[in-house]
Chain A
């Protein structure tokens, strides 16, 4: 077939066509060097020993990169492919478009991943967002923290359904297609596990901000207002609670007050511009802005409307806050205002005295962050930090403050005030009220100690 017909201009630009033709020529020469093996797979038009289908499969699965680099892809960090580094990238063509398969991949020089807290069980565990290296307020979907109680189910969206029933006029069943046909909303909001920081009540335990604060992440979430679905089924006047149930092996369940459900709850199928990640509840999760993460039921399959809370395991034996008098607070849903300096933060080492921009995140489950103050002297004096755009309700908010480190010992702290006037407490203030056994909802001011040699450590100050 004439060259120009094989690589038509409709599909190939001039440079691409040239490359393609060159490759065909290379292939032809290589095949010519194979002596007379008429039955080899080269008949299919590729290289000896590699069938066309194999090549295609390899190309589809790996975007050809494993072949491209000629090295094990496992050498590259997760989410990256290892490409040959070009010594002079201005002097040769870069790799071709879509070589990584068309989904994209990050630079092989970036290696941030979630870190799993070493629980005894691999099925029931949590992984934490690397806040220290995050930028802005959006958490990449692949770095969003996880909390699983029974592993991550693989669910076919073609068979997944959501049923609403209980105290309603007309119980209904929705396919994923149905849900995607309904009016949608989008909302940028954080989800924080109320166990975030649970190791830090008594004494500084974990070294990094990923360990102390990494159970919070912010995404854009897209889905249908839960109120839309509730209006469709017709909720009874005496309804007060809704049971949300997941389709994982924990069949995770939480009771949600109907007022919250009608106010701003979302049944979400997308995150940061694409479908939910499996570990975030694919194909459908509940989103309850400002509520503790456990209530945002993933793999959502059922909503039962009732007049009373269901008293599931997760809202009785877990996610209740034991007070010094032996009583336990129940349905402590709201994530109160909190902030943390992410740079500099624990286990870093400042190389020398000089200028550093202190930065971090602040957030509140009750609304917008109104103010963040930073102290470099352990809370003796405070200076107001600037807030980056955007400042959204119930979202991570980025703060910054210029700082010149003199080389002397310092203790860095941040303190936020939300739009309700709530002031982030110190740890002693929190412990005074709640004691040391409430496990959940630690939102106290975090302290990072800077030693004269520049080492940053997690301290209680």
Chain B
């Protein structure tokens, strides 16, 4: 019973001292909050203040015409702002950044950043959920197809894009453009898709010219494809 009363007191104390709490937790010695602040209490009944009305980031609110999709809300995105997050690369080479890297450099990058999960021979590691990167060519009609960068991926740009944005798992997005070109050259070289000569170099131009073995393996969605048997 004691604990129950303690808790009642606790709740009542909160109810009775709302503004005091706000003062206590907003002291200058407190670190900056990384969670929502408690709402302000207002009025005779200590109501919770509603959330502030969202403020448009627009500098000017002239020329508003909702019927014409002009709301005076939002602001122009500058080239710098776009460039900071515009990281995608497309099959035709659009979006591939400046830079270059060789097979030999890629071998180094691979051993440092990739091999721990994907294996010394790019064979993958099921226990870690790391996919095999090479092999499996010609197995797509088998009972157990092996889908890898070599056997399945239709575009080299996808390899660059994905490694650049999301790999390695323990430090995503940490590889420089040069390192990603290099490790792409290494993986594609080991896959016999490009030369595995140590000096084989990839950059934006050569990357978009790489022909992947399964480039023509993809078809559009024909569904609905199954009709009931009569």
User: Chain A interface (Cβ within 8 Å of chain B)?
Assistant: 6-7, 10-11, 16, 19-20, 23-24, 26-27, 46-47, 52-53, 55-56, 58-60, 63-65, 67-70, 84, 96, 98-99, 119-121, 123-124, 149-150, 156, 163-165, 170-178, 180-183, 228, 231-232, 243, 245, 249-251, 253, 301-302, 304, 306, 308, 310-313, 316-317, 320, 322-334, 336, 422-423, 425-426, 429-430, 432-434, 436-437, 441
Count the B residues whose beta carbon is within 8 Å of the partner chain — how many?
Answer: 81
CB atoms of A23 and B172 under 8 A apart: no
CB atoms of B129 and A429 under 8 A apart: no
CB atoms of B3 and A311 under 8 A apart: no
Interface SS of chain B: loop
CB atoms of A67 and B218 under 8 A apart: no
In the bound complex, CA of A354 to CA of B81 (Å): 66
In the bound complex, CA of A356 to CA of B48 (Å): 47
Set A11, A27, A336, A429: member contacting B16, Cβ < 8 A: A11
Among B66, B91, B217, residue most surrounded by chain A Cβ atoms (within 10 Å): B217
CB atoms of B4 and A68 under 8 A apart: yes
CB atoms of A429 and B228 under 8 A apart: yes
User: Chain B interface (Cβ within 8 Å of chain A)?
Assistant: 3-17, 21, 24, 34, 38, 44-46, 54-58, 66, 69-71, 73-77, 81-82, 85-88, 90-92, 126-129, 140-141, 143, 145, 147, 149, 152-155, 157-158, 161-162, 165-166, 169, 172-173, 217-229
CB atoms of A173 and B74 under 8 A apart: yes
| 10 interchain pairs, CB-CB under 8 A | A20-B9, A56-B17, A67-B10, A84-B4, A123-B169, A181-B73, A310-B161, A316-B153, A429-B228, A434-B225
In the bound complex, CA of A53 to CA of B10 (Å): 10
CB atoms of B54 and A176 under 8 A apart: yes
CB atoms of A64 and B45 under 8 A apart: no
Set B149, B169, B223: member contacting A334, Cβ < 8 A: B223
Which residues on the B side are within 8 Å of A323 (C-beta)? 219
Q: A251-B87, A311-B157 are in contact. Are A329 and B8 (CB under 8 A)?
A: no
In the bound complex, CA of A172 to CA of B228 (Å): 48
CB atoms of A332 and B223 under 8 A apart: yes
CB atoms of A124 and B13 under 8 A apart: no
CB atoms of A425 and B173 under 8 A apart: no
Q: A249-B172, A334-B223 are in contact. Are A171 and B77 (CB under 8 A)?
A: yes
In the bound complex, CA of A347 to CA of B160 (Å): 45
Which residues on the B side are within 8 Å of A311 (C-beta)? 90-91, 154-155, 157-158
CB atoms of B223 and A172 under 8 A apart: no
Q: What 3 pairs across the A-B complex have the smallest Cβ distances?
A: A231-B69, A177-B54, A120-B129
Determine the residue in chain B with the shortest Cβ distance to A175: B57
Set A20, A121, A251, A316: member contacting B128, Cβ < 8 A: A121
Among B157, B228, B229, residue most surrounded by chain A Cβ atoms (within 10 Å): B228
Set A47, A99, A243: member contacting B11, Cβ < 8 A: A99
CB atoms of A423 and B88 under 8 A apart: no
The minimal Cβ–Cβ distance linking A269 to chain B, given in whole angstroms, is 10
The minimal Cβ–Cβ distance linking A251 to chain B, given in whole angstroms, is 4
Q: A67-B7, A150-B172, A177-B55 are in contact. Are A331 and B75 (CB under 8 A)?
A: no
Which residues on the A side are within 8 Å of B218 (C-beta)? 316, 320, 327-330
The minimal Cβ–Cβ distance linking B11 to chain A, given in whole angstroms, is 5
Set A181, A231, A301, A327: member contacting B217, Cβ < 8 A: A327
The minimal Cβ–Cβ distance linking A430 to chain B, given in whole angstroms, is 6
Q: A182-B73, A330-B220, A333-B221 are in contact. Are A124 and B129 (CB under 8 A)?
A: yes
CB atoms of B225 and A316 under 8 A apart: no
CB atoms of B71 and A67 under 8 A apart: no
Which residues on the B side are within 8 Å of A334 (C-beta)? 221, 223
